[in-house]
A and B are shown apart, each in its own frame.
Chain A
């Protein structure tokens, strides 16, 4: 089983609908992130959380909200989806205690299409 699991993997929705993307991890990491991937733009950080009580906006947080329900769960919500939110969304984790393993661990992505 994957260490970082995202659901759903694919979702098609209509403009104005509320959408939630969920992420769960078994790595025991405190830090979790949501990124958005668009062709030619790489990955851009939406929100990140250093622990359950700590939520921070990233580069492109407008139109998104997050919830850190537990150390292992971090969900991303689009309150009213719009077509330019069509993208591939990635959840990632990291472990700040292990400086020898400075890296992000990614889920397999959630492809969202807003019609």
Chain B
């Protein structure tokens, strides 16, 4: 069965500092990988995704993630945190053959300190 782990349920960074949110997955077949963001009192929205092709994926709001098959990882980064980045971030995985059966990780809450 597929599973997703996110290291750190809560991460705090200073404004302007590097954001690094970790995600590892287990999958028996090549997966589709996603990062979703949830702002307070809102639903989730797609930040970025990896399906095929280039392993470094760029998303909205300056975020990017790199698919590393050998490490089964899909870590999310942003060079410089902004106050508006404070939110809950979910890593998710699905199989190519059933891409909309998405398995979500437990989430990481990002706080940005002024």
Contacts and interface: CB of A to CB of B under 8 A. Distances in A.
A43 B49 CA distance: 17
B43 A108 contact: yes
Contacts of A40: 9, 106-107
A106 B45 contact: yes
B46 A104 contact: yes
B90 A42 contact: yes
A31 interface: yes
Interface string A83-109: 000000010101010010011101111
Nearest to A40: B106
Interface residues of B, number: 23
B47 to A, nearest CB: 10
Interface string B2-41: 0010000100000000000000000000001010100001
Interface in B63-111: 90, 94, 99-102, 104-107
B43 A102 contact: no
Residues of A contacting B: mostly: strand
Contact of B99 (A44, A92, A102): A102
Interface in A3-48: 4, 31, 33, 35, 40-45, 48
Residues of B contacting A: mostly: strand
B61 interface: no
B106 A41 contact: yes
A43 B107 CA distance: 9
A102 B101 contact: no
A102 B51 contact: yes
A42 B104 contact: yes
Contacts of A4: 43
Given A42-B105, A42-B106, A45-B101, A106 B49 contact: no
A42 B100 contact: no
Contacts of A35: 104
Contact of A107 (B41, B43, B94, B102): B43
A106 B43 contact: yes
Contacts of B106: 40-42
Closest 8 CB pairs of A and B: A106-B43, A42-B104, A43-B104, A103-B46, A94-B100, A42-B106, A106-B44, A108-B43
